[in-house]
Structure 1
Amino acid sequence: MCELPSGLASSATPRINDAESPLTWLRARRGRDGKPLISKAQYLAGERLRMDFERAMLARRTTLNWELAGTGCRSPGAAAELSDGAIAARKRYHAALDSVGPELASMLAQVCCLSAGIEQAERVLELPARSGRAVLGLALNALARHYGMAEATRRDGLTGWGLDGYRPSLNRGGAAP
């Protein structure tokens, strides 16, 4: 395995500016009820999608890729490890977008991955004015459900009727069981 020269490892690590993320902005702002505009589960789901997008290297590049240049790393396994990670991230990214459906996936891609603001996403996706936040909320809920981060929708925590392990049966014959 190839090691980075000393002193390069800390400076080569990309820094992420959370202030650039529309999700961070929405999480920091409060609605009329005093609650954040998006929940913690919605925020974490959107950030997880963004991380997979970045790891999958799906963003368009405007410059030359210098990631392994100058490290003295010439082992054939270094590129293969990177490719395996990118392929796995692409699979996770596409599985997440497939689970929310094409209508909501485009909003997630615009806001979470491409860092477009809600108004800009409305224009690009040709949505009615002032509908973007509602569409984004639905998309983030579906994404959080896909990742297993969905919060209970009721205040009392009740999400269904019946005892644990209860499964209803369908009686198609019409006779009582």
Structure 2
Amino acid sequence: MTAHARYHSETYSKANQASEPKGPALLDDEDALAREARRVLRRLCETGAVLALASDMDKAVVLRSFKDGPPTRTAVVSREVAQAFALKDWINCTRTGRVASYSITTAGRAALKQYLDEEITRKRRMKGAQDGASPFRDSQSDWDQRLGASTVTGVGRSSMAESPLAMLARRRDKDGRTFLAPDLVQAGERFREDYELAQMGQGAALRWDRFMVSGDRTELSGDATIAEAPKAARERILSALDELGPGLSDIIMRCCCFLEGLEAAEKRMGWSARSGKVVLRIALQRLHRHYMDANGHVSAMIG
């Protein structure tokens, strides 16, 4: 099944071959491989998610299908990463053709669990060196522990492998209409994609809580040691959070990025029961408007 991915890699131009690392080169870079595995394989664990790779495109995408509405893009993946995943048997080709589709395998889920466990251990050590506690850091750590412990092994996946946004997107009102329109889901997924890209910066995952509590963005925007792509993603997140303001930015970060459930978010923020989903929808509407005003569309290219 890896032959199709290898064939796709051969369609690259010589210029691309000279400027970007090939799949086997990525296999020699354990840090980069682990980072991409945590980012991409986690999205492939979500219900209805596939990796789509076209023969004439430099990038692959992870698409997630919902019962109603068009598929939503949840990640962008370089061709080399897709090839490396296929060579590792982490993904399996389920449909061939000009656009091939890949699904995560049992080996891919096992690899993701291992990488998540290693990341949790690293974060615990770093957290132990920090002074003070943060409810935002606790939210993110709690989710990582639960996900790493139970949601990526075996064939049967727990519902915890899905984000609160995805679960809300399936809910319907008494008239049969979805609670969240597809464009709002897309806006939330776009924000989460930026958040995950921003984590590629050194120590980035431990700094968002400080910004959310104090508003101090010095460590987020002033770090000159990170690459341009994560730095740009941070700036896009900060711009969106400025637009949302307190309250709306909190619920977006908790539910879209830290993947905290609505009930837990309501309790942490002192809100009344069942109010979180309404506030989240308002936040997503504001976020969608922000992307439209800034870019003319939601899915400005990432990756």
TM-score above 0.5, yes or no:
yes
Q: What is the TM-score normalised by the length of structure 1?
A: 0.65
Distance 1:136 1:40 in 2: 14
Distance 1:144 1:5 in 2: 35
Amino acid at match of 2:205: A
Structure of larger gyration radius = 1
Pick from 59, 82, 86: which aligns with 2:205? Answer: 59
Which one has a larger percent helix, Structure 1 or Structure 2? 2
In structure 1, the partner of 2:276 is 132
Which one has a larger percent strand, Structure 1 or Structure 2? 2
Task: Provide the alpha-carbon RMSD of the alignment.
Answer: 2.7
Distance 1:2 1:113 in 2: 29
> CA, structure 1 residues 49+5, in 2 after alignment: closer, same or farther (shift >3 Å)?
closer
In structure 1, the partner of 2:27 is 8
Q: Deviations over 1:13-36 (max 9, x none)?
A: 431133421111111222211111
Residue segments in structure 1 that go unaligned for 5+ positions in a row: 62-79, 150-177
In structure 2, the partner of 1:74 is none
**More RCO (CA 8 Å, sep 6+):** 1
Distance 2:228 2:264 in 1: 34
Work out whether residues 53 and 59 of structure 1, in 8 Å CA contact, stay in contact via their aligned partners in 2. no
Q: Deviations over 1:79-130 (max 9, x none)?
A: x996111100000011011111122100100000100111111111111111
> CA, structure 1 residues 41+3, in 2 after alignment: closer, same or farther (shift >3 Å)?
same
Distance 1:42 1:53 in 2: 17
Superposition deviation, residue 4 in structure 1? 4.5
How do residues 24-63 of structure 1 correspond to structure 2 at under 5 angstroms? 24-57=166-199, 58-60=204-206
Percent identity reads: 38
Query: Residue 205 of structure 2: SS of its match in structure 1?
Result: coil
Amino acid at match of 1:111: C
Distance 2:23 2:167 in 1: 37
In structure 2, the partner of 1:88 is 232
Q: Deviations over 1:119-170 (max 9, x none)?
A: 1111111111111111111111100110118xxxxxxxxxxxxxxxxxxxxx
Residue segments in structure 2 that go unaligned for 5+ positions in a row: 1-18, 47-160, 208-223, 294-303
In structure 2, the partner of 1:121 is 265
Distance 1:34 1:108 in 2: 25
Distance 2:282 2:171 in 1: 18
Superposition deviation, residue 8 in structure 1? 3.2
Amino acid at match of 1:54: E
May I ask how many residue pairs the two structures share in their alignment? 131
Which aligned runs of 4 or more in structure 1 are off by greater than 6 angstroms?
Answer: none
Whether 1:20 aligns to 2:39 is: no
In structure 1, the partner of 2:244 is 100
> CA, structure 1 residues 56+33, in 2 after alignment: closer, same or farther (shift >3 Å)?
same
Query: Residue 30 of structure 1: SS of its match in structure 2?
Result: coil
Q: What is the TM-score normalised by the length of structure 2?
A: 0.39
In structure 1, the partner of 2:285 is 141
